[in-house]
Structure 1
Amino acid sequence: MTKNCFLKDSKIFLALIALFFSSCAFAQQNDMQPEMENQFWRNVQFGGGIGLGFGSGYTDISLAPSSIYNFNEYVALGVGLQYKYLKQRDFYASHLYGGSVIGLFNPIPEIQLSAELEQLRVNVNLDGSNTNSQDYWNTGLFIGAGYRSGNATIGGRYNVLTDKNNIYGSAFMPFIRVYF
């Protein structure tokens, strides 16, 4: 066997070894990727709220989807969107839309503490007058506590940034929160 033939055979052998190990390495990477993705989605929950209110000349429609990521059994962080339509016949029509960030803390499985920062754009159109229409941003910071059972929590929250121009009737609001 000549030296050139030996070098040629050794190069082929090394190329085959390199190919074998690189395919094993890629196989390991591909096997890990779905597991990591599945782990992420196992910790995500979706929920939100839908509201309808009708009265004598009054309409209130709201939609508020949200999602949270559970870091562990105690802490979760999430985001939400919100749209609300309010109309009082012969007085005003209003559109509110925006988003929120929520943090949840469960010191024990039955108790849920929350902090939620909400930013809403408020558009109010007074009937009969375009000069009195209003467009502004409203910020709320809600601190809350509730009783939790399974995926549902019932409790109350308080807007610590409330002022005389508050878009809500009161700084304190009850809530029901459900995540699937």
Structure 2
Amino acid sequence: MRKNNYMTVSKQVLIVIIALISNVLSAQHQTITSKSSSDFWKNVQFGGGIGLGFGSGYTNISLAPSAIYNFNEYVALGLGAQYTYAKQQNYYASHLYGGSIIGLFNPLPQVQLSAELEELRVNINLDGSNSNSQDYWNTGLFLGAGYRSGNVTMGARYNVLNDNNNIYGSAFMPFVRVYF
């Protein structure tokens, strides 16, 4: 008899727990759906960068779209994608592609602090030699600060994971960030 009693009580407790959870989930669903879906898009900004560089046998083309979600006037979080083609005539051609996650903090309206984790796939083909081609992943963690005016922020960032095998010439680099 004891075992049956235990099973009955267990079933009743399980039913009560499921009922409570479904009630809470239903209330959350009603709260979420009562907000207009356009409220989400009011807090989203799109932007990114385009780069073109040409000179004596060198070509560099870069495209880096991104989007951020502003949680409030101080904090934003976003995602970005990047593609870069670089070629030095008679030396190499490279393709870099990947993505990033960026966090922005605005302690004052004119000051923007940032942290960005970037992961790029690097493909380098040396001219005249397929055996010297390289394919690898490059990770960067950039901490930055900038001056913000409207939708534009100008500043500098530093790659704290910089090493001798890094694809960038320096760990320190300037940036211009634009979001609409």
Q: For this structure pair, what is the TM-score category when the shorter chain's length is used for normalisation?
A: 0.7 to 0.9
In structure 2, the partner of 1:145 is 145
The total of aligned residue pairs comes to 151
User: What is the RMSD computed on CA atoms of the aligned residues?
Assistant: 1.5
The Cα offsets for residues 16-49 of structure 1, whole Å up to 9 and x where unpaired, read as: xxxxxxxxxxxxx99x848421110000000000
Name the counterpart of 2:158: 158
2:11 alignment counterpart: none
| Structure 2: distance between partners of 1:170 and 1:90 | 24
The AA in structure 1 aligned to 2:67 is S
Question: SS of 2:37's equivalent?
Answer: helix
The alignment partner of 1:169 has SS state of coil
Q: Which amino acid aligns with 1:132?
A: N
* Deviation (angstroms), 1:89: 0.2
Letter of the 1:75 counterpart: V
Rounded Cα–Cα distance in structure 2 between residues aligned with 1:35 and 1:47:
26
* Map of 1:61 onto structure 2: 61
**1:40-81 per-position Cα deviation (integer Å, ceiling 9, x unaligned):** 000000000000000010000000000000000000000000
- CA deviations on 1:62-109 (whole Å, 9 max, x unpaired) are 000000000000000000000000000000000000000000000010
Secondary structure at the residue paired with 1:139?
strand
In structure 1, distance between residues paired with 2:143 and 2:33: 38
Q: 1: distance between equivalents of 2:121 and 2:166?
A: 13
For 1:42 and 1:35, how far apart are their aligned partners in 2? 12
Could you tell me which runs of 5 or more consecutive residues in structure 1 were left unpaired when the two chains were aligned.
1-28
Q: Does 1:81 align with 2:59?
A: no
Q: Distance in 1 between matches of 2:121 and 2:149?
A: 33
**2: CA distance, partners of 1:42 / 1:92:** 44
2:135 aligned residue:
135
Alignment partner, residue 10 of structure 1: none
Between the aligned residues of both structures, percent identity stands at 77
- Scaled by the length of structure 1, the TM-score of the pair is 0.81
**CA distance in 2 between partners of 1:113 and 1:36 (Å):** 31
Partner of 2:93: 93
Q: Quick one: structure 1 residues 129 and 34, their matched pair in 2 at CA, closer, same or farther if it must change by over 3 Å?
A: farther
Partner of 2:110: 110
Instruction: Tell me the TM-score normalised to structure 2 length.
Output: 0.81
Q: What runs of 5+ residues in structure 2 fail to find an aligned partner?
A: 1-28
Structure 2 letter corresponding to 1:172: F
**4+ residue segments displaced more than 2 Å:** 32-36
Report what 2:8 is aligned to. none
